[in-house]
Structure formats: C-alpha cells, structure tokens
A and B are shown apart, each in its own frame.
Chain A
Amino acid sequence: MNATIAAQPTGVYSLISSHSVSDQGNWLLEILSSIRWKLAETLSLGGPFREAIDELGEVYLEGLEPGWDGYGAQPVSEEVLENAVTFLCRLPQDLPMPDVSADAQGEIHFEWFSNPHRTLSVSISPAGVLSYAGLFGPNRTRGLELLAGGIPPSIVSNIRRVFE
C-alpha cells in the first residue's frame, strides 16, 4: 500500500476501518484509493473520474450487508466491485463519467443522464455480465454484453447517444 495514500485518507476511505470489509474488499478499496490519488496528482481529467471512484467506494460500503436497501437486497460482492473498477478504468477518456448506484440484486449500476427520458444504465454482475437499458425519447434499447477486453462498442455508442 502506498504510504502517501495511507497518510491521507479522506471521505469514504476514512470510513473503511469502521466497516466489516474482507481482505479482498480492503484490497479493492486500496486500489480505488490509489487510482484516486494518482489522478489527483497528474491528470486534468482526474476530477470527474475521482468523483466516480469515490461514489463507487461509498456504494460498495453501503451495500456490504444483506438488506442494505431497507428491503431484501443482496450485498454488493467484491467481484462486482472489481468488475466495476475495471469498467470505469476502461471507459474511453472522452466519455462523461456516470453516476454510481447499486440494486437489490447486488449489482452496481452506472448511469449516464441527460434528462429522465434520455438516459442509459449499465449494471455489472459478479461474473462480469453487463446488462444495459437506455431511454432515448420514444425509443428504447437494451442488451447484454460481457466485460472482456474493452468496453463493448454497443455500450460506448449508447453512452454517446445520451448526449447527442
């Protein structure tokens, strides 16, 4: 673990010790922290990316326990977090960063939003299955892809479509 990172925990990372996160989950959160600080130091695009990473960490910590949504939600697993980190890191840099949330099935959601009727959501499963659905005015789209290699072109093109 980077000593600089350890010395300067902020926001969600300062809360990690108060949660029952497994070794694997801690390792992933340290990865998030590392990415966050590298971006803060070097890249002009670090702001939105850093915010998305922070949101991801917060969503993961909120979703650790069964029933975290107040109903019968499954916890967000380390595999889902790992896949979500991979997804964010592989997003083309010219794309806007998404909002982050989680659902009752323990999947992490990324959402790109122009208005309530022009929006795309991608959810990520523990196995790296990407389910997506988009509303584009009167038109809709949905599908399944695998998180292997880069971000699937169908998802990239639908993200761009939100902001056309």
Chain B
Amino acid sequence: MPREVEQIDRDEPLARFIFSRSHFSSAKKIVKAPAFIPAPDDLQTSVFRIHELGERQIRDIGEDVGRTQNPPRSPRAGGEIEVHAVINVGLNVGVGLDVIPDKPPPRHAEIIGWPRDDKPQQLEIAKLLAAVAQLVLHD
C-alpha cells in the first residue's frame, strides 16, 4: 500500500469513476457535464487522488468503489469497458471549487464549493470540468 499523501497539490490528477453510460461518449471520447454535477444533499463530488498510480491500480480503486455500492457495480458503464474521468485539482480551484481529502477509503477526496441553489452556475462549472476532463477507457 503506497504511503498516504495528505497534502493536495494543485497539479494532482483526480479520477471520477463513472457508473452511468449516459455520462460519457466513447464515440466522441468525451465526459459529459452531468458526470460532475453534485448530489443535492451534500453538494460534493466524489473523486480519488491518483498521482503516481498506474492504470491497473486506478482500475482496482474503481472496482473497490463499485463493490461498496448497493447493489455492487462495476465502473463499466458501456457494458464491455470500464471508464473514469481524470481532471486536475488546479482546474477545480480555477472555477471556484476546492478539493479536500475525505478518508476512508484511502485516496478519497471530495470536490466542494459548488454554488448552492444556482443550477445554471453548477452546470457551467460542470461543463468547464468536462471540457478538459480526460476520458479513460479500460480495455
């Protein structure tokens, strides 16, 4: 198990595991804005810090996340592929959000600071995140 990293660097990459097939397009190779829209109760977006991790390790985290859900699921929203989106901490800060560690599980973090009761602004921020997010498809 790699040593836990406590300080979040602006250059850190974050992974958002995607469990809905409507949240990405493999044809267009894009992540869609709704993948980042926060749930209304806590206005937080769950992500994982993936610096210094290889693709296999990132995939394992996604599988672990899926196994803790009820019902258990796999981040294989397209049926035969597994997906996650990668964004940088600095981007979140640039659009007025922040990222805070939120363990357990290890490496878990939350994107916070979403505007409350302002859906158009939430949507605009989510679109900015989606515009630069890297869609990663696992074979």
Contact = CB atoms under 8 A, between A and B. Distances in A.
Contact of B131 (A55, A70, A125, A135): A135
Contacts of B19: 69-71
A121 B66 contact: no
B25 A99 contact: yes
Contacts of A135: 124, 127-128, 131
A102 interface: yes
Interface in B12-34: 17-23, 25, 28, 30, 32-34
- Counting contact residues on chain B (CB < 8 A from A), the size range is 35 or more
B105 to A, nearest CB: 14
Contacts of B128: 135
Given A109-B33, A116-B130, A131 B119 contact: yes
Interface in B36-81: 37-42, 46, 65-66, 69-70, 73, 75
Contact of B127 (A67, A101, A102, A133): A133
A121 B131 contact: no
Contact of A67 (B32, B65, B70): B70
- Residue of A55, A70, A71, A132 most packed against chain B (CB within 10 A): A70
Nearest to B23: A101
Contacts, number: 102
B132 interface: yes
B32 A101 contact: yes
Contact of B73 (A70, A131, A142): A70
B131 A116 contact: yes
A100 B18 CA distance: 16
A59 interface: yes
Interface of A: 55, 58-59, 62, 67-74, 99-105, 107, 109, 111, 113, 116-117, 119, 121, 123, 125, 129, 131-135, 140, 142-144
